[in-house]
Amino acid sequence: MACHHSQAITHTALDLTKQEVRVCITEAQIPDDKDKKPHLYGMVINQGHAEKIRIFAGPNNQTPDPTINELTTLSNDVLASSGLYLKVLIWGARNEPSVQWSGSALAFEKQEPSDRAIANKLINEKALQVAAEEPRSPFDVVNYNKITLQTSQTR
């Protein structure tokens, strides 16, 4: 069944340039090239179609937000299954078949409280995992939910 002409217009994706959108985070990429910035990828629904967005951790040519930047070190599986969304300012369209938009995440304190909680949980879980797996001082004790430091008392 053919669409009426006025209905066909609604199938065109909206221009997201300079728009703030909430993006479902799906993956991270730390480039091999030291000159390139680490970034995240996420998906947004635009007029009923999923579109992929490349997301940097801070405003263009400015210092990245340290908490958002820390998310780029997480595995794609962890990010994709986390339910994490970030508010992103779209800079513009990308001329790539797999990535439609590029932008920067808003500062961590400007993210939704529920998303800040998810991000903090993911970062803390990774820190605990690293602490449990990496060689440590014999005075460090790592439990599942906390890290403590034991000190020996000398007399």
- Averaged over successive runs of 10 residues, the pLDDT of the chain (155 residues) comes to 43 80 94 79 93 88 88 95 96 90 94 97 92 73 59 52
How far from 93 is each of 17, 19, 60, 109, 136, CA to CA, in Å? 7, 12, 15, 26, 46
Q: What is the pTM of this model?
A: 0.76
Please tell me the predicted confidence (pLDDT) of residue 153: 54
| Distance in angstroms (rounded) separating the CA atoms of residues 122 and 36 | 24
Please tell me the predicted confidence (pLDDT) of residue 4: 43
